[in-house]
Structure formats: C-alpha cells, structure tokens
Structure 1
Amino acid sequence: MRKWISFPHSEGTTSKQAHADFPEDGIYEREVGREGFFGPASHFHHQHAPTGWSNWEGDLKPRCFDLNKLSTAAPESPWQVPMILENAQCKMRIWHCNETMKYLVRNADGDDLLFVHEGEAELFTDYGHMHIVKGDYVVIPRNTNWRLELEAPVFLLMIEATNSAYQLPEKGLVGNHAIFDPACLDVPKINDSFKAQYSENEWSVHVKRHSKTSVITYPFNPLDAIGWHGDLSVVRINWRDIRPLMSHRYHLPPSAHTTFVANGFVVCTFVPRPIESDPGALKVPFYHNNDDYDEVLFYHEGDFFSRDNIDRGMITFHPAGFTHGPHPKAFQAGLEYKKKFTDEVAVMIDTRNELFVGDAAHQVENPEYVYSWKAEK
C-alpha cells in the first residue's frame, strides 16, 4: 500500500484556486502535476512566462513535424508505412492510401485507431461494411481483417494500442451520456454492399505480428460472414458527435476531453466550444509541466488558438519534463478575450512512457519550433 505525500500549503502571494482570479496583473501561472492531470499538483505564479527561454541545447525540447511534407507515394500496405512516433504501448503512423486495397490486412499486435484526416472510403471488415469520411475515428479490434475501397484518396492518422485494447473513459459525475452518447457509435453492417463482395476468388491477408508481416492466402474472400452477435466490433464515431465538457468559469484540463483510453496512453479530442467568459477565468491552456506524460497533438482543422504558425496536418510533440503552454500572441489574445469561440479540431495522444521519433518525422521537422515562444520585440 502507498499514498501520495499530501499536505496542501500556500506560500507567498497566490490565487485562491487554480486557473482563476490571479492575485496580480501581469503574472503567469504554471501547474506542476503528477499522473497527468489526476495526481497531486502545485501552482506557481511567475513574473515571467515559463516558456521565455532564449536558448536550448539537447534533445528534451518541443518539436513540430509537418506531415504534409511527407511523400504521398506511400506503400500499398499500412504495415509498410514508417513510424512517426512510437513506444512499447503506442505506435503512430501516417498513411496516404491512394488506391483501393487489393488484399486484406490484420493487426495481430494490438487494436488500431484510424482517424480520417482527409478522404472518403468504403471500409470492409469481418463485421461488415461501413462508409467512412473525413473526421471519423474508427476503432479496429486486434486481429480484425479489413480493407478500404476508396471514394477519394485517404490521409489516415493510425494509432496502434500495442498489445492492448481501446476502451471508453470513465465519465464519473457527468454520467454515461456526457461528451458523446454511446448511441452515437456506429458498427459495420452486413448489407448489400458487404454481400456483393463475397467471392470464391483467391484473396490474401497481410498479418502484422511483432512488426513483421506474414501473408495468408485463401481460395475465397475471408470476409464471408452472414451474421454475427456479441459486444466486440469495429466502431466509428465522428468528431462532430463529440459535445465537449466546459465551464464558463474555469479552464478544464485536457483530460476532460478524453475520447479513448488504452494501456499506457489516452486519446483526447479538442473540438469547437465557447471560450470561458468569466472575467477571472483563464481563457487559454495553462502553462504546465506534465512530468509523467509525453504529449502529442495532431492538428486536423481550424484556427489553433493556443499556437502560432501551425497548420492542419502538422504534429507537435512535447516530451515530459519541461514547461509548455500557449504562444505569446495566444496568451495576450486570451487576456484581451478577443475570441469568444474556438474553432479548432485536434487529436491529442498522451503517453505514460517515452516516445521515440521515427526517421520519417525527422525528415519533416521544423527545427525552429523550440523558439516559437519568443515574444516579438
């Protein structure tokens, strides 16, 4: 048995509570917390922005990758796509699928979460057929056969829960229907489109296990189910079905926007919402040290209100161990309450263990991102 050392204390000039009614003008709040945003935390009030560094040496730094610059001449198989970021529990790939898949694929290493950044396709799986579009999340359980027939080229963010499974977060006091009602989750159908692809022709399945691919050949199409029953399936939800928690008096931490959880990481979704309106409430993400989690943001749509010079299709990576938060322009705009509504859509992945940067990401990195917090003079 163990418990956190806990003795709430206040020293010097402080606010009464976090993220609201700062004791003086012109100060900067910084949260230092454990276990993401769920453990003990302290809040400092600084005279200078905690991101006001003038120089940085070493690998522990904020990083930005412009995935739009990756070659769109991608491999036919998602298992041949190079990693962007990875660790033992979580692997992230970007796949430009430009042609209808001529074989099935199956991931024997873990569940896959597909986020459709661009494009439109017919998805065929063991469980049936579904139409997927831009903005969809699709959870594909481990060892499910699947393939895509394209309506338009597809740009996918693929997040593997290695040796794990995706689940929904506990919603606690707000109840099961908050954030999104489970009734919004779609499952594939054994419909006319699915039945039309039954075939006695030869099909192959490319199975990934321990990051190596085996090919299994059948004298028929293995997607030949006439029905199924149970509570395990491919599921789909679009970000437009997500109704975020918010408070007009308090800036909620990213954990309030959790969409899926797996062993060692969480996936959150930031969608448009009103900005906090209370005069004393912080109106941009707070400066913080997330000292137990690496943070990744994939930018899908809109005006990313806490960042400058970030475009759709980019990824930022903030490893655990340093302070980060809004860029200077965004922080000032928050003080002035210039915007009343956010219009950003972004996917956040927070991992409990260190992420490693893949070669493909290195090729499209912006080395000046670390200095993007410098205030203009």
Structure 2
Amino acid sequence: MMRSASTTLTPEDTPARGFVARRRDSLLALLERGGLLFVLAALIVVFAVREPAFLNVANLFSILQAVSIVALLGIGVTITLAAGGFDLSVGSIAASAQMAASYVLVVWHGGAWGAVAACLALGIAAGLFNGVLITRLHVPDQLATLGTLFLLAGLQLIPTGGRSLATGTILPDGTEADGTFPDAFLAFGRARLLDVIPAPVLVLLAVTVLVSIVMAATRWGRVIYAIGGNETAARLAGAPAARYRIAAYVASGAIASLGGLLIAARVGRGDVSAGHSLLLDAVAAALVGYAVWGAKRPNVPGTVIGAVFVGVLLNGLTMLNAPYYLQDFIKGALLVVALAFTFSVGRRADGRV
C-alpha cells in the first residue's frame, strides 16, 4: 500500500534521520554539560602554547594556592544558595577573622591554637547572627548579610584605629603591639607537603571533599536543597527549615573564617584591606558553578572549578604580560561567553528556543 500524502514525516520515520537527531541531541547535551570545562581546557592549551612555563608544576600549584581562599569563601556562599539564601558577608567575615587572629597573636601574645579558635569563633558567631536576623527577625537574606558586611568591615578597624596589625604596630591607646606570629601558626599558610603542595590547597581539598559529601550524600544536604527549592513544601514535610537555614549560614561563616585564618598565616599580619576583592570573586565562583557539568544548581565542585577558571585566566594573562587594566574586562567577557554558551545550548537541548 502507498503511504497517504497527508502523512507528516518525522525524523524518526527513517533510521538515518533518527540517528542524526539522536547524535545532535547528544552533542547538545555534551556541550551543555561541558561548555565551561571546554573553555577552561582551551585556555590551558592556549596559555601552554604561548608560554610553556605555564604547565610547570610549581606554577599550577601557585594557581591553586592563589584561588584557595576565594574557593573556600565560594563554598560558603554555595551552601547558603542551596538553602535559598545568599551570603554577602563572607568577605568581611574572612577579613575580620584574620584581624582577630592577628590581634590574639601580637597584642594578647596568644598561641597558634588560640588564634585558630578566635577565627572560627568569630565566623560561627557571624553566621549565627546572620541566621537569626533572617529566620527570626525576617530580614531578607541579601539585606541581612549586607548589614553584617558593613558591620564587620567597620568593627575590624576599631581595635587598631584603622591600621593593619603586625609586630610593632602602635595601637590607638599608644601602646606597641610586640607579639609575634609563631611558626606553628604561619605553617597553616606557608607550609608545603613534600615541598610541593601548599597547605591552603590541602585545606581546600579537605573542605571540598567534606562539604561535597555532606551536601550530596547526607540527609542534611538533601534537606538544605529541599528548602532552597521550596521552603514551604519542606516545612510542611516536617523539616525544621529555620534551623537548617541558620545552620547553613553558620557553616558559611565558619568556612569564611577559615579562609581568613589562611590569609593571616600566609601574609603574617592583619591586613585591613584583605577582604576588599574576596566577595565578588567568591560570588562569581559560586554562580559559575551552576554551569559546570550542567548542574544548574549550587554545587561545591562547580564552585571550586569556577574559582580555578578565574585563577587560570588571571595567571595566564599575567604570564603573557597582558595589561592589568584589561584583565578584569577579559575575565568578565570570557565568563559571560562561557555561561551564555552553556545555558543557550541547554535551552536548545531541552527543546526550548
């Protein structure tokens, strides 16, 4: 029998057309999932060809060390994004934590572990403060954490009268800070495993693995994502949403304070300008993480890859002697292209134009 003339042919009507359609969909899905990774790989190839020293082991670990602080803060932001919030205070928490550690060491003559405890206590307290503002006083996340940002940015300046803090600093009361940074504390930021792997990279690796497991394989992580997806539904299902959201901000504050600890240990002083650029880079890393491997939601490995993407780009541009005033523009342009490519391809793969 002859086929009716009114019958509409579809790609599946012939094996060849069906095969082409399936290959096209597979290619689009691969581009969606790996778009940012492809751009990162292309950058590495370009930089390696133009400057062979880019692939030296020492330079690669230098990149990882440079992005470790930003990646840690980005992980904290990622946890709050997963819970439906947004922590804008991570940069100020890190800056205040490194000032607190420096104060304990050079003013109070405390030990390394006392400085560590002061850092973590400040971060936990700041996260708890954010959580209470948001869940008990119902202040919107961005406004609450923005207030904490300004509060801590000003608070860290008061004990030293706005000066950076190191041995020999004259305090507002006229006394001299004559304490020192002990080697045990400096090791957190300067030690190297096997004389190759910097301590901050090891800390980042440990935090990344731990938080990834918690977020992906524990009830706590699943509830956090559920609250971020639909807090009302999660609450009706029996989840104590307020307590989980507070816990998310406490975790973010603690991780940010760990970043501040590493800053103080690396530079050997309390730098009042340390947190100025951390927030934007951390937020960028967390948001870029949405596009890594097609996740389209906050995720810790994606955040770390986002931070590495920015670190590779800036390191390569520096090695190629690109003018400093062009670097931010190039960074922004490549991020926009990579993200636009990933999400536009994703819409096509899903059948949406």
Larger relative contact order (Cα-Cα within 8 Å, sequence gap ≥ 6):
2
What TM-score do you get using the length of structure 2 for normalisation?
0.23
What TM-score do you get using the length of structure 1 for normalisation?
0.22
Structure in which a larger fraction of residues adopt helix:
2
Structure in which a larger fraction of residues adopt strand:
1
